A and B are shown apart, each in its own frame.
Chain A
Amino acid sequence: MLTRCLSMNKKPTIDIITLGCSKNLVDSETLMGLFEAHGYHVTHDSDHPQGDIAVINTCGFIEDAKQESIDTILEFVQAKEEDRLQKLFVMGCLSERYLADLEKEIPEVDGWYGKFNYKQLLKDLEVSGERLEVRDYHRHVTTPKHYAYLKIAEGCDRHCAYCAIPIITGKHQSRPMDEILDEVRYLVSQGTKEFQVIAQELTYYGVDIDGKQHIAELIEKMADIEGVEWIRLHYAYPTHFPWDLLRVMREKKNVCNYLDIALQHISDHMLDRMKRHVTKEETYELIRRMRREVPGIHIRTTLMVGFLVKRMMTSVNSLSLPIGRVSSVWVLSPIRKRTVLIVLNTMRMMFLPRLSSSDWIS
């Protein structure tokens, strides 16, 4: 079918399947925009192959996500063997991390791409033909058009002891501020009102460019763009928190009083073992100051109850501190057998204004 499509000069239909996080979703949207600009018809997240070509954008972070990625690849391999699919390509974090093993174990896949070279797929498909210059932000937004994820950086320079992200995504790379602001203006022109600002480490934005944190400046400039109704911040880091960001959150009414920040633990011993470079007291002070400077702030966070198995009981006990009532809990799977076990992901602590600091400081 693919050969027939190409021989008839008709572009094949491409299914893109996204697994994993919102950063992956933005990569898929970028690839979809690139294909569509070159005349392809693209579908997203179909359960079964609908087109001639499938591209699976994988996750390689935790065990369950890796298994889901492999299961999905095998499902599409089967579709290919049953002639329901002509070509199968894989990209994303799993293949970035385990390329050699995957190539060897699943030879039915027609091409493997990683986290950063996936645009090469278009060139590989179109051996000849005109290639257009397409800005990354001319992507196909798959979320409801009134909101979009906005990726401002990729990679992470932190080296938390339990985390595989720096292995997969490499060092922190901030996108140029002007390019991000152009993307915001473009998305506003397309109907986007709410921006979910994302990065592996939001608060590190700019450090790789000139050694300074520029997240507050970026968000302030975003907030001043007409048509930006809500800006929501995801994935901050407690160490070296850029305090000026709190001023921007307080002063700019279109910056939501909402911050997603991974605290991970509160015991000094565990924070040290996790290589978080922050202490219990510094964490307390961070929360106090957020609540003081941004009244009514809602904080979403993740906490791990255990890190090394032998320390688990200690760490569970140390988490029994009243830092506010937690609104809900998710349980994640073990990241790595025997070493990192029992990850409890606690989301969304709501530090309500009526709670005084004496309510939660031990």
Chain B
Amino acid sequence: MRIQQNISAELEAEKVGNIMRVIIDRVEGDWFIGRTEFCSPEVDPEVLIPIDEELTIGEFYDALASQMRKSLIYTRRQRYE
């Protein structure tokens, strides 16, 4: 399982630098939690965007995959659609 988690993190890290369309699902702590088209709710890795961005739950945004921590991609908003 641990090996797989590392592979998962490695695969996700490869997306850093890409701009992806993201839908915002909810807020948790200091983060908006969203998903790309490659992520189904509840089962796949999610995308985190800092809460200081002005985003709305249920809306789509273009987001830049900016860094990788553990198995999640952290992104910042690039532009509003």
Contact = CB atoms under 8 A, between A and B. Distances in A.
A352 B23 contact: no
Given A347-B43, A352-B14, A193 B58 contact: yes
A212 interface: no
Contact of A144 (B5, B26, B43): B26
Interface residues of B, number: 25
Contacts of B51: none
A11 to B, nearest CB: 31
Contacts of B43: 300, 347-348
A335 interface: no
B19 to A, nearest CB: 14
B9 to A, nearest CB: 9
A258 B23 contact: no
A196 B40 contact: yes
A232 B40 contact: yes
Nearest to B56: A146
A327 B11 contact: yes
A80 interface: no
A9 interface: no
Contacts, number: 69
Q: Taking chain A's interface residues, is the majority helix, strand, or loop, or is none over half, making it mixed?
A: strand
A23 B5 CA distance: 28
Nearest to A147: B41
A260 B10 CA distance: 21
B38 interface: yes
B68 to A, nearest CB: 13
Interface in A319-356: 325-329, 331, 346-348, 350, 352
A146 B14 CA distance: 28
Nearest to B43: A347
B14 A144 contact: no
A144 B38 contact: no
A234 interface: yes
B11 A194 contact: no
A298 interface: yes
Given A326-B4, A329-B1, A260 B40 contact: yes
A337 B12 CA distance: 37
A79 interface: no
A191 interface: yes
A191 B59 CA distance: 11
Max chain A Cβ within 10 angstroms of own Cβ: one of B40, B41, B44? B40
B23 A350 contact: no
A325 B11 CA distance: 8
A143 B40 contact: no
Contact of A193 (B7, B8, B11, B23): B23
Interface in B15-42: 23, 25-26, 37-41
Contacts of A347: 43-44
A257 B5 contact: no
Given A193-B58, A298-B38, A326 B7 contact: yes
A205 interface: no
Nearest to A230: B37
Interface string A165-194: 000000000000000000000000001011
Interface in A247-295: 256-258, 260
Contact of B58 (A191, A234, A256, A350): A191
15 contacts: A144-B25, A144-B57, A147-B41, A196-B41, A229-B60, A256-B38, A257-B37, A258-B39, A298-B38, A327-B4, A327-B11, A328-B71, A329-B4, A347-B43, A350-B38
Interface of B: 1, 4-5, 7-8, 10-12, 14, 23, 25-26, 37-41, 43-45, 57-60, 71
Interface of A: 143-147, 191, 193-194, 196, 229-230, 232, 234, 256-258, 260, 298, 300, 325-329, 331, 346-348, 350, 352
